[in-house]
Amino acid sequence: MDEREQAILEVWHASAEPWTRAVRGQAIASRRLVTDAAIVDAVLACRPRSVIDLGCGEGWLVRALAGQGIDVLGIDAVPALVEAARAAGDGRFIAMDYAEVANGALHERADVVACNFSLLGGASVDALLHAVPSLLEAGGVLVVQTLHPISACGDGPCADGWREGSWAGCGDGFGKAAPWYFRTLAGWLDALARAGLQLVRMREPLHPHTAEPASLILVAAARH
């Protein structure tokens, strides 16, 4: 595994406790104001009976969707996050990393596969996307919420590539931040196409204070 991909896993293993505290304490303003509701709305718009949440973290999205009567399975590579999710109640949870999912270890299908700010790597994400069609029921879709290339580009080049991470705005208790793989909109569409997926909808939720894109939501279906 690329050392940067490995660093992502190591950082998240080390950050399970402060992350759980930040999410449950609503410490992250953009989530509280925009993006949590945006992903819930995007998934519910698909009218799913079942959802797989890949990179579920401490399970908040699983709980939100389960509360709507949806059968939801949460998957995360960090056992401590999965344990926190299980302890909070509703939903099923499995500790499994993306390489295992990419290699066919997840024998589940759902109407929606959701990835909420959980596609952080390069090659690991490409491999995971290739597995998504096998996880979808007939007519199912992938729903991805990610950083918007416009707001996330910063001073770096607007080109796909690795960037330094930051815990700014997430509260206290975090150590080193993980690197992450920046993708342009074209980069996302290319990655979906290589995985046999086709964009069917796109949303750009706006921050209520700045009127700038707070995130990018992509909805894609398997090509037939």
Per-residue pLDDT tens over the stretch 112-126: 999 999 999 999 999
Q: What is the pLDDT of residue 79?
A: 97
Q: What is the pLDDT of residue 90?
A: 73
Contact between 93 and 73 (Cβ < 8 Å): yes
For 134-149, what is the mean pLDDT? 97
Q: What is the pLDDT of residue 76?
A: 98
Q: What is the pLDDT of residue 175?
A: 96
Cα–Cα distance, 131 to 99 (Å, whole number): 10
User: Which CATH code, of 3.40.50.150, 3.20.20.70, 3.30.1490.100, 3.50.50.60, is assigned to 3-222?
Assistant: 3.40.50.150
For 80-102, what is the mean pLDDT? 94
pTM: 0.96
Q: What is the pLDDT of residue 224?
A: 74
Over the chain, what is the mean pLDDT? Answer: 96
Q: Where are the domains of the chain?
A: 3-222
Q: Reply yes or no on whether the pLDDT at 28 is more than 90.
A: yes
For 70-96, what is the mean pLDDT? 95
Q: What is the pLDDT of residue 140?
A: 98
Alpha helices in the chain (DSSP H): 3-14, 16-24, 29-30, 36-44, 60-66, 79-88, 98-102, 123-135, 149-152, 185-194
Cα–Cα distance, 62 to 113 (Å, whole number): 12
